[in-house]
C-alpha cells in the first residue's frame, strides 16, 4: 500500500502556516506543523484541516509542540526563527536564529534521519550552513530557499514594468539572500525574447535594485512582520519538485564544492531538484561582471559564516 508523503514544517508563524496551506491545497503530502508556542500549531492545523471539505483537499494536517509526530518525514521545511523588524538587517538575526536552527535541526535529524531539509530561516545562507553542519547530511539533502523567492520578486517587477503576463517572464537570481544578490538580467526573457527588447537598461537597473530590497520593502509596509505569501509559496515549489521528482531547474541556495570557483558555502545558483533533493548544480558561463557579483555575494555569506564560527569557538 502506498504511503502518502509527509512534510513537516518547523515554525507555525506566518511563513510556516501559509506553507502548510499551500501544501494541503495542492494535496502534496500530509503535513505536520511544529512550534514551541502551545496551542498555536494545533489551532492552525485544525483550522486548515477544516477547510478541506470546502476546498476539496484530503490530507492529514496536525499541529504539535514536540517532534515525535514528524517521524519519517520525507521533507522538512525549517521556518523557525525571529522575523526581521524595521531597521533590522538580516545579520542582526544571525546568532539568535543560529541557536534556534541548531536546536531544530538536532530534533529533526533524531526523528527523520533520511529527510531532505529546506531552510527558510534568515539569514538564509548562514542558516542553511548551520543546518548542514549540525545534521551532517550530504549536500543534496540540505537546500536553502531564497533564489525562488528573489527570482519571483524580480519577475513580478519585470512583468509589471513591461506590461506582460508574469507567466511569460523567465528569470532568476544568483547569490546570497540579501543586498548582494545578483539578478541575472542577461538570461532573463519574456516568452523567450531577451529582456532588453521590452525594457531600457535604465529601467532594468531600477528593477534590479528593487528586487534586492524586495524583502525590506514589505517589512517597511507591514511594520510588525515580514513577507510570507511569496516566501511560503517559493518553499512549496521546492517541496513539490522533490515530492513529485519533477527535476525542476530552480535557483536555490546550495552547498558549493568548487562550482563557480566557490567552495564550502551556501550560495544561490541554479540547481536540479528531484526525489534525491539537490541532484545537480547547473553551471553557466558567466561574464566577468556576473562572476564579480556572484563572488562579492559569496564573500558576504562567508563573512556571516565567519561570525558564526567565531561565536562557536
Tens-place pLDDT, residues 110-168: 999 999 999 999 899 999 999 999 999 999 999 999 999 999 999 999 999 999 999 99
301-to-100, 102, 207 alpha-carbon distances in Å: 19, 18, 23
- d(CA 291, CA 182) in angstroms, rounded, equals 10
The residue ranges of DSSP E strands in the chain, in sequence order, are 6-10, 30-34, 61-64, 75-78, 116-119, 142-144, 169-170, 173-174, 182-183, 189-190, 193-194, 248-257, 263-274, 277-281
Domains of the chain: 6-144 (3.40.50.720), 147-312 (3.90.110.10)
Q: Which three cell numbers stand for residue 143?
A: 537546500
Q: What is the mean pLDDT of the chain?
A: 95
Expressed in percent and rounded to 5, the helix, strand and coil fractions of the chain are 50, 20, 30
pLDDT at 290 over 60: yes
Q: Is position 21 annotated as part of the catalytic site?
A: no
pLDDT of residue 90: 60
290-to-177, 181, 184, 211 alpha-carbon distances in Å: 16, 11, 8, 16
pLDDT of residue 312: 56
User: Residues of the chain with pLDDT > 70: what percent?
Assistant: 96
pLDDT at 84 over 90: no
Pairing of strands 61-64, 30-34: parallel
Tell me which DSSP letter residue 139 carries. G
- d(CA 203, CA 119) in angstroms, rounded, equals 33
Confidence category of residue 234, pLDDT binned at 50, 70, 90 = very high
Using the structure block, give the residue that is written with the C-alpha cell 525542476.
Answer: 248
pLDDT of residue 212: 94
Q: What is the pLDDT of residues 169-190, one digit of tens each?
A: 999 999 998 889 999 999 999 9
Candidate list 21, 170, 177, 295, residue with the active-site label? 177
> Crossing angle for the helix pair 288-312 and 124-135, nearest 10 degrees?
60
pLDDT of residue 145: 97
294-to-10, 134, 146, 291 alpha-carbon distances in Å: 30, 26, 15, 5
- d(CA 203, CA 158) in angstroms, rounded, equals 9
Do the Cβ atoms of 125 and 241 come closer than 8 Å?
no
- d(CA 19, CA 30) in angstroms, rounded, equals 12
pLDDT at 313 over 50: no
Amino acid at each position: 500500500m502506498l504511503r502518502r508523503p509527509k512534510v513537516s514544517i518547523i515554525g507555525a508563524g506566518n511563513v510556516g502556516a501559509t506553507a502548510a496551506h499551500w501544501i494541503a491545497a495542492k494535496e502534496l503530502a500530509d503535513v505536520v506543523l511544529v512550534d514551541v508556542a502551545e496551542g498555536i500549531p494545533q489551532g492552525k492545523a485544525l483550522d486548515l484541516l477544516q477547510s478541506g471539505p470546502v476546498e476539496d483537499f484530503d490530507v492529514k494536517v496536525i499541529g504539535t509542540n514536540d517532534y515525535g509526530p514528524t517521524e519519517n518525514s520525507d521533507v522538512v521545511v525549517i521556518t523557525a526563527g525571529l522575523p526581521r523588524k524595521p531597521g533590522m538587517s538580516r545579520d542582526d538575526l544571525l546568532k539568535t536564529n543560529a541557536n534556534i536552527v541548531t536546536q531544530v535541526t538536532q530534533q529533526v535529524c533524531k526523528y527523520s534521519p533520511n529527510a531532505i531539509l529546506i531552510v527558510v530561516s534568515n539569514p538564509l545562507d548562514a542558516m542553511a550552513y548551520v543546518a548542514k553542519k549540525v545534521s551532517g547530511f550530504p549536500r543534496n539533502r540540505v537546500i536553502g530557499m531564497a533564489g525562488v523567492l528573489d527570482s519571483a520578486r524580480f519577475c513580478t517587477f519585470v512583468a509589471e514594468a513591461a506590461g506582460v503576463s508574469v507567466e511569460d517572464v523567465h528569470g532568476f537570481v544568483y547569490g546570497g539572500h540579501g543586498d548582494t544578490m545578483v539578478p541575472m538580467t542577461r538570461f532573463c526573457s519574456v516568452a523567450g525574447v531577451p529582456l532588453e527588447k521590452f525594457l531600457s537598461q535604465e529601467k532594468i537597473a531600477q528593477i534590479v535594485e528593487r528586487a534586492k530590497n524586495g524583502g525590506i520593502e514589505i517589512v517597511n509596509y507591514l511594520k510588525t512582520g515580514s513577507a510570507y505569501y511569496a516566501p511560503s509559496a517559493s518553499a512549496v515549489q521546492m517541496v513539490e519538485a522533490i515530492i513529485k521528482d519533477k527535476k525542476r531547474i530552480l535557483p536555490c541556495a546550495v552547498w558549493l564544492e568548487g562550482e563557480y570557483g566557490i567552495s564550502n558555502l551556501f550560495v544561490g545558483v541554479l540547481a536540479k531538484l528531484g526525489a534525491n533533493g539537490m541532484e545537480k548544480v547547473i553551471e553557466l558561463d558567466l561574464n566577468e561582471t556576473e562572476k564579480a557579483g556572484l563572488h562579492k555575494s559569496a564573500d558576504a555569506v562567508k563573512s556571516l559564516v565567519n561570525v558564526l564560527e567565531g561565536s562557536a569557538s
